[in-house]
């Protein structure tokens, strides 16, 4: 996680003019959007691998907890950018949507972990609802529709 923060700090230090600054904002947004997409895929693959008995409960839980932890860290970085007004106004709504989607992905992953631990169908339903909501927002955010 420190590497991500250092990379963002380095990119910020290199931004010396308006164009470089705009390029930095686009890079931060593109990297975040890509991470949302990959995080959604990763959680789904973990769930599928568990259901197909490719991963046992311990392996699936460990992977899901790791992915959720990374999503929480990145959501925190984006929240900080918003709170500190570190992004141009025209990018703030995109960043807010990213924070919201990270929340859905985190809820999806946490519901998966609860399902793995309990086998409770309510947790499976919660997982599927958050997955559906997250993917709809990811598709819209990344213009994939």
pLDDT greater than 90 at residue 25? no
Mind listing the pLDDT tens digit for each residue in 78-98? 999 899 988 788 888 999 999
Predicted pLDDT at 43? 98
- Count Cβ atoms within 10 A of the Cβ of residue 21 and give its class: 0-12 exposed, 13-18 middle, 19 or more buried: middle
Residue spans of the domains in the chain: they are: 26-141
- pTM higher than 0.75 for the full model? yes
Q: With bands split at pLDDT 50, 70 and 90, how would you rate the model's confidence at 23?
A: confident
- Residue of 123, 145, 134, 121 lying closest to 37 (CA atoms): 134
Task: Provide the terminal-to-terminal Cα distance of the chain, rounded to the nearest Å.
Answer: 31
Dist CA 42 CA 137 (whole Å): 17
Tokens of residue 52, six digits:
């197909």
């Amino acid at each position: 996680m420190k590497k991500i923060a250092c990379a963002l700090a380095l990119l910020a230090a290199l931004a010396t003019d308006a164009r470089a600054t705009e390029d930095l904002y686009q890079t931060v947004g593109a990297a975040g959007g890509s991470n949302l997409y990959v995080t959604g895929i990763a959680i789904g693959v973990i769930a599928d691998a568990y259901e197909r008995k490719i991963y046992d409960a311990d392996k699936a839980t460990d992977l899901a907890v790791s992915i959720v932890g990374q999503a929480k860290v990145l959501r925190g970085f984006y929240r900080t950018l918003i709170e500190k007004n570190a992004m141009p106004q025209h990018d703030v709504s995109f960043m807010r949507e990213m924070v919201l989607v990270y929340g859905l992905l985190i809820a999806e992953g946490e519901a998966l972990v609860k399902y793995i631990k309990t086998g409770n169908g309510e947790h499976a339903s919660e997982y599927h609802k958050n997955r559906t909501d997250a993917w709809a927002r990811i598709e819209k955010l990344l213009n994939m529709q």
